Structure 1
């Protein structure tokens, strides 16, 4: 069986490196080590699941902060659900404050400032757990309804919370044995389970049931697009025809998730190109070859779209990321 080939495992011993790595793979935060006497050690393992991502993290005691300025500079508009396996974390976000320990989970919003303090377990085990992050647009109810759940401890030991924790733990353990198509399906399942947990805590199970059909269709469409990104002939008309729906209905479906079909398709292709350009193992491929792989047969179109999206040319981005790698900064997987 083929593997996904995108699982990245990074260990660091400097808090500065940890800040740079998590900025690339998760969200940008300010990070400080708590102890100046004990060595700082951290590890991140990232596992892409289509538009979502699963990560295993462990780290020495630290303080992290996401400020309004950092949000203005970069906001991927994600939710992050973290299942805590060891240590304890104190989190403040959206005027909520929670202390979350082993066997609990907590929700973050990348668009809202937060302060977090993580401490190791009493026996010295590093703090950490499993994180699942996904675009807000994948939820079947408005993101603003989750404000009262941010930074609030939720159990991972019973009910829907236990199912989510068990699923994420098992999926992380078996990720290397999964194909890219498996990973897409795992991401869809994870979003469904997380939505169920959040709806459970919001007492909004009816929303999940009412919107499940539309949500299932949206996930089928986005999975189809993910699997055919390299086909330059993939158009809005073809996507609609493949799902036996009108173009107007397809546009309406994406609008309900805060996006347009063409913009979502473009962003997915550019993100795959960006990830490959930053990969040292693909240095032998030209930027135009990578672009063609992901549906950009004309280099000029790709260069223009890449620069508009990321602010630099593909060549400049590749040179910068490879220079960072050569300087000792390991690059984790990019966000979807």
Structure 2
């Protein structure tokens, strides 16, 4: 039975469906999950036996729960998101059995040793093919210190010890620390929970850094191409346009092997080179082409063009015209 609500640090609760009539279990389990986490819906196969157990405690901003449930499905649909304003981030760490977590078009296959982030602000589904046990951590989204665009990259992705970099080092420490929280004295649990939250934030940042969002990259590069003619176009303008921090913008371009200014400069040079290759009496002067593609100084344009292509803009135009005549 439900023995408490998470209203203050250290206050715990436990719930089990075992003493309930089979016909009452789904509604009671759904109600309990929605109270402890966020509004959720539960579905089970009526022909298969099941039971659910949930133990949870809150320490500071971090809530730690252990769920035993399955087979069944846990759903946070669009209606639940609209009706429930809680916007926490949840982390599912698989302890026994397996689970599928689906959010934002991604599917995280969870087995013991893996965890996945999911965002209560958007719909998600957790499919449990058999009875399983998992630890669920819930925290305010601000605790991860990530931009919204970064959080959308994070959701529905698998984190495990087989990863590279900091994740491979931090995940075992996080798992051990969470086990220690359950065994520690009351005086130490909140301190350990704070450390666990910091490790989670570091793991989340590392995970995001390794998975740049293709959709965001596409939106940024398309918009920048449309603004190449703006001489004053700066990284801060681009970041503001897309609602991300300047730091994240630079990190996104770094993950694609370039810099913001370097990428803009090369796109401007490519566009100018294409225009210079166009033949005909109506073509623009080299200075006009440079200005059209955001270069404020013709001499700087010529120098940059030569560095990139090994010839001056005039030489490139002459070569392109000669090639066009030879094909006539």
Deviations 1:120-174 (CA, angstroms, capped at 9, x unpaired): 2xxxxx3121111100112223243022221111105742122212211221233
Say whether 1:136 aligns with 2:146.
no
Corresponding residue of 2:95: 85
180, 189, 193: which one aligns with 2:195 = 189
Inter-partner Cα distance in structure 1 for 2:81 and 2:192: 29
- Aligned positions, number: 192
Say whether 1:178 aligns with 2:183.
no
Deviations 1:166-207 (CA, angstroms, capped at 9, x unpaired): 211221233xx313xx44323321210101111222238xxx
11, 16, 22: which one aligns with 2:33 = 22
Identify if the C-alpha distance between structure 1 residues 73 and 33 changes in structure 2 by more than 3 Å, giving closer, same or farther.
same
Deviations 1:207-264 (CA, angstroms, capped at 9, x unpaired): xxxxxxxxxxxxxxxxxxxxxxxxxxxxxxxxxxxxxxxxxxxxxxxxx9xxxxxxxx
Provide the aligned C-alpha RMSD in A.
2.0
Say whether 1:145 aligns with 2:150.
yes
30, 38, 43: which one aligns with 1:32 = 43
Identify the structure with bigger relative contact order (alpha carbons < 8 Å, sequence gap 6+): 1
Q: Secondary structure at the match of 2:180?
A: helix
Greater C-alpha Rg: 2
Say whether 1:116 aligns with 2:126.
yes
Say whether 1:202 aligns with 2:208.
yes
Is the Cα contact below 8 Å between 1:90 and 1:118 reproduced in 2?
A: yes
Q: Secondary structure at the match of 2:85?
A: coil
Identify if the C-alpha distance between structure 1 residues 62 and 156 changes in structure 2 by more than 3 Å, giving closer, same or farther.
farther
Q: Secondary structure at the match of 2:183?
A: helix
Offset at 1:48? 0.6
Inter-partner Cα distance in structure 1 for 2:137 and 2:148: 16
Worse-superposed segment, 89-98 or 148-157: 148-157
Runs of 5+ consecutive residues of structure 2 not aligned to the other structure: 1-8, 19-24, 163-167, 211-244, 246-328
What TM-score does the superposition give when structure 2 sets the normalisation length? 0.55
What TM-score does the superposition give when structure 1 sets the normalisation length? 0.53
Offset at 1:92? 1.4
Is the Cα contact below 8 Å between 1:156 and 1:164 reproduced in 2?
A: no
Runs of 5+ consecutive residues of structure 1 not aligned to the other structure: 121-125, 205-255, 257-336
Inter-partner Cα distance in structure 1 for 2:47 and 2:133: 21
